[in-house]
Copies of this chain bind each other. A is one copy, B any other.
Amino acid sequence: MIRRSATTSQGPIAMLYELYYWPTIQGRGEFVRLALEEAGADYVDVARRGKRGVPAMMKLLDSTRIEHPPFAPPFLKAGKLVIAQTANILFYLGERLGLAPRDEAGKLWVHQLQLTITDLVVLIHDTHHPITTYLYYEEQRPAARRRTADFWRYRVPKIMGYFEHVLATSGGPYLLGRRLCYVDLSLFQIVEGLRYAFPKRMKRFERKVPRIVALHDRVAERPRIAAYLASERRIAFSQWGIYRYFKELDH
């Protein structure tokens, strides 16, 4: 998959980014894809580029020659740099893609918010695999039920309530106010994922976070995001990602 920029908004020396992530899931790579798409950046989704994509990713991952080896996907190649860890990639891209403030305090603030998204992603994943990722969901069903109950009872209200508060303080529609940053895209993705995995619970919960829902809708309407979501570049949700739907966990 190659996404070529139609604009020259990045200036005369636009970078061609290479994103390395699993080709069949949104996963953590999706937070990076959304940033690249919103910015109209030139990028290659390497592992989705035909049969040789995944081997190319694994080769890089197993290479002992990389100066700064990634521990796991996603990672980004930007010129000579190889950058891993989702939030770290976004920290790097934010400045370059116009999706983060330029001053230090602002950069640290959006990164801090992104790291709270990182924490939330682990919690979402662990609702369906609380005990171990080395057993099927069906083998840890009672634990998943309990974990999911507490996740919705305690963690979702607290974390999403925090983002709702940030939006109230900024005045919205985005976390920084009128200016979009990469965390807005990630928060959009969290809403999408929770709607997929927990449609009933999320429907009830959304009434409590109207500003987050409004942010979600604004992001979805942005022309490049709308085009991306409608394209084949957007991988569908599935039972293999962070967000999985199990009827008995959603009531």
| Chain B residues with CB under 8 A of A109 | 68
Q: A81-B108, A130-B143, A154-B134 are in contact. Are A87 and B115 (CB under 8 A)?
A: yes
* Chain B residue at minimal CB-CB distance from A133: B150
Which of A13-21, A40-48, A49-57, A161-169 faces chain B?
Answer: A161-169
A115, B74: Cα distance in complex, Å: 13
Interface size on A, residues (CB 8 A): 42
Q: A71-B116, A131-B130, A150-B132 are in contact. Are A81 and B64 (CB under 8 A)?
A: no
Is A146 part of the binding interface, using a Cβ–Cβ cutoff of 8 Å? yes
Q: Do residues A147 and B131 form an inter-chain contact, with CB atoms below 8 A?
A: yes
**Copy count, this protein chain:** 2
| Chain B residues with CB under 8 A of A150 | 132-134
Partner of A112, one of B64, B83, B119, B165: B83
- Distance between A153 CB and nearest chain B CB, rounded to angstroms: 8
* Chain B residue at minimal CB-CB distance from A80: B105
Is A85 part of the binding interface, using a Cβ–Cβ cutoff of 8 Å? yes
A131, B151: Cα distance in complex, Å: 10
Q: Do residues A88 and B111 form an inter-chain contact, with CB atoms below 8 A?
A: yes
Is A124 part of the binding interface, using a Cβ–Cβ cutoff of 8 Å? no
Is A199 part of the binding interface, using a Cβ–Cβ cutoff of 8 Å? no
Partner of A71, one of B135, B140, B162: B162
| Chain B residues with CB under 8 A of A147 | 131-132
Binding site for B on A (CB under 8 A): 64, 67-71, 81, 83-85, 87-88, 91-92, 105, 108-109, 111-112, 115-116, 118-119, 122, 126, 130-135, 140, 143, 146-147, 150, 154, 159, 162, 165-166, 169
Known: A88-B111, A92-B108, A126-B126. 5 other contacts (CB 8 A): A69-B165, A83-B112, A85-B115, A119-B122, A131-B131
* A–B Cβ pairs within 8 angstroms, 28 of them: A64-B165, A64-B169, A67-B169, A68-B105, A68-B108, A68-B109, A69-B166, A69-B169, A71-B116, A81-B105, A81-B108, A83-B108, A83-B112, A85-B111, A85-B115, A88-B108, A88-B111, A91-B111, A92-B108, A118-B118, A130-B130, A130-B131, A131-B143, A131-B146, A131-B147, A132-B147, A134-B150, A134-B154
